[in-house]
Structure 1
Amino acid sequence: MDCRTFYGPPRSTSSTIALLPADPCDSEVEELSDPDDGDNEDFVPPRSIDLPPPSKKLRNRNRLVEVSSDLNQTPSPPAKSRKTRKTKKTKWVKKDIPIFTLPEPVFELPELVQTPFQYFKKLFTDQMIVHITEHTNLYSVQQTGTSINTTAAEIEVFLSVLLYMGVFEFPSLEDYWACESRFPPVADTMSVKRFKVLRRYVHFNDNFQMEGCPDRFHKIRPLFDMFREQCLLIPPTNKQSVDEVMVAYKGTRAGKLRQYIQNKPDKWGFKIFCRGSYSGIIHDFILYQGATTFFNIQEEEHAHLGLEDLLLGAKVVSILCNTIVHKEATVVFYDNFFTSFNLVKTLHTNLGLRSVGTVRVNRTGGATLMSDKEMVKRGRGVVDFCSSEGVVAVKWFDNKCVTLLSNAYGVEPLSSVKRYTKEAQQKVDVPCPSIVLAYNQAMGGIDLSDMLVHLYKTPMKSRRWYLPLFGYIIDVSIVNAWLIYKRDCSILKQKPMPLKKFRLSVAATLKGADKVPARAGRPPGAKHKPQVRRPNPRVLHPTQEVRYDGVGHWPTFGTQRGRCNLCKSGVSRWRCSKCGDGKLFLCLNNKKQCFVAYHQR
């Protein structure tokens, strides 16, 4: 066998690089084969024996570069290196920002403090009650073929029962009507059978018109939209906070709508992002539903807010803050779930809002701050700060290191807070920057509302996943109405009633105003109990809406006799069938028509 055939054609010893054009047919490279082989067109060079790979030095010596045969073609620009692709780093300097002076909030002076029922109706309107009535009847027809024929007045009575149940909690629903544990404000208002029917068929939207809808909360969405419109009408304060709220739900019928947050009182449930005042009033909210959370955001609003480059938390804050009326005179506070350097700049650029928030280390925008170990060595109260583009990053060591971003508050003026030390065994003054004090004062508004909701919570456990959200709307309506009532009382320098009495007053008015009273007499099956005589029994006065509504007030004659509650001089056996409750006696003699006068303003 020929050696050349065994080893193949000889390799070129030159270090030149062979150039191959893009089109093999247009090749102008000289033929590299041996001249003796050029006469044989069918010559196929044999396969060479596998040789060990060349060394690293020789591996890239001879390379084949593909070039175009068109010499007039302009070469493509070189690819950008990694250094040029990186965005320009933010320059941070050791400088504080001036404090932003907020104007004092001015609220309209009310003529008088209204009744609790009137405050509640500003939020839970008659339109919402009519909407619930229509869709409840529609849903019952769709399920059973017959309507339950409920009315708006009966839905108000149903709400009244739910408000009572939120204050007086029994182990089960049947206990409110049982003989051993009968609760008259509930049992005398509605039968247990009718209450269960209403609770079974209460509905808020038409299911047959929701096919293909991207909204996963479509069953409760109309009620939330109407309630949100009323919350946006409440005059806000100049310090707003954004945080998440959990509506308790442990079932599995809601699918992935159920979320989990470890540090919340209700760890399992529906997540709602809320914006509220530091006083606890909720003004706006967003129901979280994953990828379709912002399905109703228009393209114009999406471009105006600059949501393309923002994370989920930053998008939530931007959308919630877009509904603020006086943006230039408002400061927004949020926690480290939402805060980033881009969010603080975007809010100020697009909306004119100033904001404060605790921030995670990887979202500070590259702020050059002291490390945690170094701050721990220096001791409690150490402050480090730097600023860039009007945004200051402040790091403060208390029990732990905390970092904040703000364009409204800075470090100065420094104040002090009391902290206990083991060495001195007493509380000492620790330096504290002004941004930390402002954050602690204004950030707790959503948590305050959540705490007030959990004090007297409407029982709404059900297989239907949207009923807990309906109960949350009722509870927030009561809490918001009570906080507005407290604000009016403080303006007019009056003493407000507590939340429990406020809720019971609303429940009593919903049950009795503009409604015919139920049939008098003890319910069948109730055991007779001997009455215990009490000295000076208290008279149960009705609310003003019930007393002056002019519906169902009839004199009834009883065996018990008492003093007239209006003139205090007459003795009567007559009482009102609606608001007397067996203890309100009124005269019916010819000289003084106390019964008629009592029900007139």
Structure 2
Amino acid sequence: MDCRTFYGPPRSTSSTIALLPADPCDSEVEELSDPDDGDNRDFDIDSPPPSKKLRNRNRLVEVSSDLNQTPSPPARSRKTKWVKKDIPLFTLPEPVFELPELVQTPFVYFKKLFTDQMIVHIAEHTNLYSVQQTGRSINTTAAEIEVFLSVLLYMGVFEFPSLEDYWACESRFPPVADTMSVKRFKMLRRYVHFNDNLQAEGCPDRFHKIRPLFDMFREQCLLIPPTNRQSVDEVMVAYKGSRAGKLRQYIQNKPDKWGFKIFCRGSCSGIIHDFILYQGATTFFNIQEEEHAHLGLEDLIGAKVVSILCNTIVHKEATVVFYDNFFTSFNLVKTLQTNLGLRSVGTVRVNRTGGATLMSDKEMVKRGRGVVDFCSSEGVVAVKWFDNKCVTLLSNAYGVEPLSSVKRYTKEAQQKVDVPCPSIVLAYNQAMGGIDLSDMLVHRYKTPMKSRRWYLPLFGYIIDVSIVNAWLIYKRDCSILKQKPMPLKKFRLSVAATLKGADKVPGRVGQPPDAKHTPQARRPNPRVLHPSQEVRYDAVGHWPTYGTQRGRCNLCKSGVSRWRCSKCGDGKLFLCLNNKNQCFVAYHQR
């Protein structure tokens, strides 16, 4: 018999496997020792476990016999290398806004945000919801919803202890009581709705009841021209009820500690441009896998929020985004610049700096107030500055230079002294307060929407942000045209008066329900309440009314008349009907 047939074909040298002991110093005799000898390695259950040295002594490893093949080194994660070097200052261009032809009325600015489409949507779903609940519709219209919004705007400025006080005889408020009856107002407030509940079954969105209104409002906010300094922060919409479940959040340092959390992106002027409703694990239910890969989203929720909000910025290469330490990380700063071309600045926590080598807090406190330490890596600078406390910032737009100074009071000198301050801190303080400014303006005149239905406070927040955004745009146009703007309170009251009167037939104004009600004392020289232009020139419901009170004509100033307009007049606005009704007609024509 052939030896090849008996022993089989020879093995390939490239696949030969040699069994070697883990420790080369171990002899093969010990490996092949008889198990009956005293050097037996079998252990009983009750005996102590073998030591690490004994366990590794007789372990065999498989080694390839191919000597020409070099073993590959184990893969190691690349460590970020930090150097003591500053980054060049990024020159941010000044924003250029389109020159307006003229300053519009407050109603026009409000309608750009709270559109007619939103009002029609509310009217349709309010009727649908009333049918689903009671079997019959309350038959509301878009015009009545505007009157309803007008009443809410008045209530935000003139706050009464309860809703009934606006219609009560002792505390009757005519702008509200003469506009709508208390019974009708409560009915609209009871059945106002924004989405069909029957179509929301199985939807992962937990804000489905208010989502259509937020989406339409967000589309209008994205159309507002932004500034080049954007900030991302969180806002709380107050709600203390228990019907919202885990949608209700708690933040200790906010004015409203309990409520709904909304992540917003806004300009440094306070205008809100984009937002995300936080709802836990399903917050990003509408983010597709392609968009997730394009943005390079991290596992941290703060990084996801910033990436999604910044993706809607139009001019990314000329914009710097600011955020606080809830969002900031080294990977986020790099991801925004790599995937979106955005530069950003933010305060950062110690465990998210990417391994930046900076001085400890104790060492900075010993050196005194104003000490600065910094290092950079891959175009990102980490700056640590000691003022009252130590603060650390990450940025790829601003660095340490140029150094400036800030005034701080010292007990030793009993006066304010100059403290060195890096440029990144000044830029952060100037641009980070946009969201807080908007939140402050919203709380000044807040729409009262306390209810058991959890989504009504969110509806009130949309109304308030619409007013604030409209007022800030109006102020910007006044600044461009060098005109003096009206304050926020008058702006809100002007919008409320126009919503109540524009394109609507005035209702009958009767006497107060209590006959003992006595009107207030008449002022010696009362001011004339002029209607807004939308009410004055709408050509609907303007009729001359003859009254007992007599006054001078407000147009020609030469005649005395008892006639006034049934819609524009309030008992003080008189228009004479002499000279073939010229004054009355001329007053209502452009």
Structure 1 length as normaliser, TM-score? 0.88
- Identify if the C-alpha distance between structure 1 residues 290 and 540 changes in structure 2 by more than 3 Å, giving closer, same or farther: same
Question: 8 Å contact 2:160–2:166 — kept in the other structure?
Answer: yes
Residue deviations 1:134-161 (CA, integer Å, cap 9, x gap): 0000000000000000000000000000
1:376 to partner: Cα distance: 0.3
- Identify if the C-alpha distance between structure 1 residues 57 and 223 changes in structure 2 by more than 3 Å, giving closer, same or farther: closer
- Identify if the C-alpha distance between structure 1 residues 8 and 307 changes in structure 2 by more than 3 Å, giving closer, same or farther: closer
Segments of 5+ residues of structure 2 without an aligned counterpart are none
1:572 to partner: Cα distance: 0.4
1:534 to partner: Cα distance: 2.6
Residue deviations 1:152-179 (CA, integer Å, cap 9, x gap): 0000000000000000000010111011
Query: What is the distance in 2 between the residues matched to 1:419 and 1:125?
Result: 48
- Identify if the C-alpha distance between structure 1 residues 303 and 68 changes in structure 2 by more than 3 Å, giving closer, same or farther: closer
- Identify if the C-alpha distance between structure 1 residues 68 and 160 changes in structure 2 by more than 3 Å, giving closer, same or farther: same
SS at structure 1 position matched to 2:562: strand
Query: What is the distance in 2 between the residues matched to 1:129 and 1:255?
Result: 29
SS at structure 2 position matched to 1:396: strand
1:527 to partner: Cα distance: 2.9
Residue deviations 1:21-57 (CA, integer Å, cap 9, x gap): 99999999999999999999999xxxx9977777776
- Identify if the C-alpha distance between structure 1 residues 368 and 527 changes in structure 2 by more than 3 Å, giving closer, same or farther: same
1:597 to partner: Cα distance: 1.1
Deviation larger for 546-555 or 121-130: 546-555
SS at structure 2 position matched to 1:345: helix
Question: 8 Å contact 1:15–1:61 — kept in the other structure?
Answer: no
Deviation larger for 30-39 or 384-393: 30-39
1:78 to partner: Cα distance: 8.6
1:298 to partner: Cα distance: 2.1
1:220 to partner: Cα distance: 0.3
1:593 to partner: Cα distance: 2.1
Residue deviations 1:456-507 (CA, integer Å, cap 9, x gap): 0000011110000000000000000000000000000000000000000000
Residue deviations 1:505-532 (CA, integer Å, cap 9, x gap): 0000000111111113323325342663
- Identify if the C-alpha distance between structure 1 residues 373 and 11 changes in structure 2 by more than 3 Å, giving closer, same or farther: farther
Question: 8 Å contact 1:23–1:69 — kept in the other structure?
Answer: no
1:297 to partner: Cα distance: 1.3
Query: What is the distance in 2 between the residues matched to 1:25 and 1:314?
Result: 53
Question: 8 Å contact 2:18–2:65 — kept in the other structure?
Answer: no
SS at structure 1 position matched to 2:493: helix
1:104 to partner: Cα distance: 1.0
**Could you say which residue in structure 2 is the equivalent of 1:78?**
74
- Identify if the C-alpha distance between structure 1 residues 57 and 419 changes in structure 2 by more than 3 Å, giving closer, same or farther: closer
Question: 8 Å contact 1:94–1:385 — kept in the other structure?
Answer: yes
Question: 8 Å contact 1:333–1:357 — kept in the other structure?
Answer: yes
**Could you say which residue in structure 2 is the equivalent of 1:40?**
40
1:103 to partner: Cα distance: 0.9
Deviation larger for 52-61 or 478-487: 52-61
- Identify if the C-alpha distance between structure 1 residues 20 and 354 changes in structure 2 by more than 3 Å, giving closer, same or farther: closer
Residue deviations 1:236-285 (CA, integer Å, cap 9, x gap): 00000000000000111111111111111101100000000000000000
- Identify if the C-alpha distance between structure 1 residues 8 and 31 changes in structure 2 by more than 3 Å, giving closer, same or farther: farther
Query: What is the distance in 1 between the residues matched to 2:223 and 2:39?
Result: 96
SS at structure 2 position matched to 1:385: strand
1:599 to partner: Cα distance: 0.9
Deviation larger for 467-476 or 23-32: 23-32
- Identify if the C-alpha distance between structure 1 residues 80 and 282 changes in structure 2 by more than 3 Å, giving closer, same or farther: closer
**Could you say which residue in structure 2 is the equivalent of 1:85?**
none
- Identify if the C-alpha distance between structure 1 residues 6 and 259 changes in structure 2 by more than 3 Å, giving closer, same or farther: farther
Question: 8 Å contact 1:102–1:238 — kept in the other structure?
Answer: yes
Question: 8 Å contact 2:22–2:60 — kept in the other structure?
Answer: no
SS at structure 2 position matched to 1:37: coil
Larger radius of gyration between Structure 1 and Structure 2: 1
Query: What is the distance in 1 between the residues matched to 2:36 and 2:323?
Result: 84
Query: What is the distance in 2 between the residues matched to 1:235 and 1:17?
Result: 70
Question: 8 Å contact 1:17–1:63 — kept in the other structure?
Answer: no
Residue deviations 1:112-155 (CA, integer Å, cap 9, x gap): 00000000000000000000000000000000000000000000
Query: What is the distance in 1 between the residues matched to 2:456 and 2:148?
Result: 14
Residue deviations 1:191-232 (CA, integer Å, cap 9, x gap): 000000000000000000011111110000000000000000
- Identify if the C-alpha distance between structure 1 residues 63 and 491 changes in structure 2 by more than 3 Å, giving closer, same or farther: closer
1:72 to partner: Cα distance: 17
SS at structure 1 position matched to 2:399: coil
Query: What is the distance in 1 between the residues matched to 2:310 and 2:13?
Result: 73
Which residue, 484, 490, 493 being the options, matches 1:495? 484
Question: 8 Å contact 2:85–2:375 — kept in the other structure?
Answer: yes
Question: 8 Å contact 2:178–2:509 — kept in the other structure?
Answer: no
- Identify if the C-alpha distance between structure 1 residues 515 and 374 changes in structure 2 by more than 3 Å, giving closer, same or farther: same
Count the aligned residue pairs.
590
Residue deviations 1:518-577 (CA, integer Å, cap 9, x gap): 113323325342663432211111111111111111111111111011111100011111
Query: What is the distance in 2 between the residues matched to 1:592 and 1:162?
Result: 38
Query: What is the distance in 2 between the residues matched to 1:41 and 1:339?
Result: 55
Query: What is the distance in 2 between the residues matched to 1:120 and 1:41?
Result: 86
Deviation larger for 300-309 or 143-152: 300-309
Residue deviations 1:374-422 (CA, integer Å, cap 9, x gap): 0000000000111111111110000000000101001111000000000
- Identify if the C-alpha distance between structure 1 residues 518 and 29 changes in structure 2 by more than 3 Å, giving closer, same or farther: farther
Residue deviations 1:285-317 (CA, integer Å, cap 9, x gap): 0001111111111222111111155x1101110
Deviation larger for 152-161 or 534-543: 534-543
Question: 8 Å contact 2:22–2:56 — kept in the other structure?
Answer: no
Query: What is the distance in 1 between the residues matched to 2:297 and 2:420?
Result: 38
**Could you say which residue in structure 1 is the equivalent of 2:589?**
600
Question: 8 Å contact 2:234–2:262 — kept in the other structure?
Answer: yes
Deviation larger for 237-246 or 7-16: 7-16
Segments of 5+ residues of structure 1 without an aligned counterpart are 82-87
1:590 to partner: Cα distance: 2.9
The correspondence of residues 557-596 of structure 1 with structure 2, limited to 5 A, is 557-590=546-579, 593-596=582-585
Question: 8 Å contact 1:94–1:387 — kept in the other structure?
Answer: yes
Residue deviations 1:315-343 (CA, integer Å, cap 9, x gap): 11011011001011100000000000011
Residue deviations 1:415-441 (CA, integer Å, cap 9, x gap): 000000000000000000000000000
Query: What is the distance in 2 between the residues matched to 1:512 and 1:435?
Result: 51
Question: 8 Å contact 2:21–2:60 — kept in the other structure?
Answer: no
Question: 8 Å contact 1:20–1:27 — kept in the other structure?
Answer: no
Question: 8 Å contact 1:9–1:34 — kept in the other structure?
Answer: no
- Identify if the C-alpha distance between structure 1 residues 4 and 178 changes in structure 2 by more than 3 Å, giving closer, same or farther: farther
- Identify if the C-alpha distance between structure 1 residues 374 and 552 changes in structure 2 by more than 3 Å, giving closer, same or farther: same
**Could you say which residue in structure 2 is the equivalent of 1:347?**
336
1:596 to partner: Cα distance: 1.2
**Could you say which residue in structure 2 is the equivalent of 1:84?**
none
Query: What is the distance in 2 between the residues matched to 1:150 and 1:6?
Result: 99
- Identify if the C-alpha distance between structure 1 residues 415 and 536 changes in structure 2 by more than 3 Å, giving closer, same or farther: same
**Could you say which residue in structure 1 is the equivalent of 2:318?**
329
